[in-house]
């Protein structure tokens, strides 16, 4: 099972994971998700993605990337491979034009879905995963509808068999998070949290389940919405209901839309 994590902040913040101190840190998660890592964000020159088909625990590049990147939006993923070889092309997040995407779940018969893609999307696929096909299927439907939520709803409605569709998507302005699963609902969790600098206490995000620690001094000073596969703190994280899309706007206003 892959893990998803995203931040949408009102100003550029750092996204620095505590990697080197103590047993409870995000890097240790790669012991159980060893097939790759990836982090995407939006810099001055546009979207960037750094990813590698290595466990984060074994990657010096992971250390350097998480220590240096700053942005208003981050999308991060650690991979437990179910489809596709352990290559950079198969690691999440995926990037196409201004869009970032990371997925946790499985689509069956994704080869049939790929046949329904327009040439520009079909030819853009670089790896072998069902997730990358799903990404371009969503983008194709967004282009054919009046809004992003309408496009996502259409893409999901026309899907065939799948196990779960949890995903993070961003166009550099908004952050979208969708949760859906056919069975094992507690396994395919997705939570969100809205933070405000007026709240007391330092931002030290810990999760016993994930053994994760996100340490961001800048984020302590700024408003932000966080989305993660697990609750990272004792704060008031809310579960995204099944079949619902969470939309975080540039103004950090949050909307939940039922699409299934």
Q: What is the DSSP string of 89-139?
A: GGSSPEEETTEEEEEES-BSSHHHHHHTS-HHHHTT--S--HHHHHHHHHH
- Cβ atoms < 10 Å from Cβ of 40: 27
More confident residue, 65 or 173: 173
Length of the chain: 260
Q: Higher model confidence: residue 35 or residue 37?
A: 37
Range in 21-30, 71-80, 97-106, 225-234 with the lowest mean pLDDT: 21-30
Q: Give the CATH architecture of domain 3-258.
A: 4-Layer Sandwich (3.60)
Structure tokens at 151: 């496009």
* Geometric angle at alpha carbon 257, from 255 and 260, rounded to 5°: 160
Residue 189 has pLDDT above 50, yes or no: yes
Residue spans of the domains in the chain: they are 3-258
Q: How sure is the predictor about 210, in pLDDT bands with cuts at 50, 70 and 90?
A: very low
Instruction: Note the pLDDT of residue 120.
Output: 98
pLDDT higher than threshold 70 for residue 126: yes
Cα gap 68→204, rounded to integer Å: 19
Residue 176 pLDDT greater than 60, yes or no = yes
Range with the poorest average pLDDT among 88-92, 135-139, 154-158, 170-174: 88-92
Other beta carbons within 10 Å of 224: 24
Contact 79, 33 (CB under 8 A): yes
Which phi and psi (to 5°) does residue 107 adopt? Answer: -105, 135
Can you give the pTM of this predicted structure?
Answer: 0.86
Percent of the chain with pLDDT over 70: 77
Q: Are 90 and 128 in contact (CB under 8 A)?
A: yes
DSSP E strand boundaries for the chain: 3-14, 37-43, 46-52, 70-78, 94-96, 99-104, 166-170, 175-179, 191-195, 204-207, 212-215, 224-228, 238-239, 244-248, 254-258
What CA–CA distance (Å, rounded) separates 59 from 65? 10
DSSP 240: P
């Amino acid at each position: 099972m892959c893990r998803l994590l995203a931040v949408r902040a009102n100003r550029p913040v750092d996204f620095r994971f505590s990697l080197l101190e103590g047993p409870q840190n995000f890097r240790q998660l790669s012991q159980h998700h060893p097939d790759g890592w990836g982090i995407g964000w939006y810099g001055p020159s546009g979207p960037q993605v750094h990813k590698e088909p290595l466990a984060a625990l074994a990657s010096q590049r992971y250390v350097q990337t998480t220590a240096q990147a700053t942005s208003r939006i981050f999308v991060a993923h650690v991979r437990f491979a179910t489809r596709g070889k352990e290559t950079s092309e198969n690691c999440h997040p995926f990037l196409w034009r201004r869009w970032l995407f990371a997925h946790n779940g499985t689509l069956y018969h994704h080869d049939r879905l790929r046949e329904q893609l327009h040439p520009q999307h079909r030819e853009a696929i670089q790896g072998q995963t069902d997730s990358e096909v799903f990404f371009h299927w969503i983008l194709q439907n967004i282009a054919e509808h009046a809004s992003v939520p309408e496009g996502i709803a259409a893409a999901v409605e026309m899907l065939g068999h799948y196990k779960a569709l949890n995903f993070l998507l961003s166009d550099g302005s908004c952050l979208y998070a969708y949760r859906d699963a056919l069975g094992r609902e507690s396994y395919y969790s997705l939570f969100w949290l809205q933070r405000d600098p007026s709240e007391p206490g330092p931002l030290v995000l810990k999760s016993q389940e994930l053994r994760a620690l996100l340490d961001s001094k800048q984020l302590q000073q700024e408003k932000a919405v966080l989305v993660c596969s697990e609750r990272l703190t004792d704060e008031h994280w809310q579960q995204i209901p099944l079949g619902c899309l969470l939309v975080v706007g540039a103004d950090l206003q949050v909307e939940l839309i039922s699409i299934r």
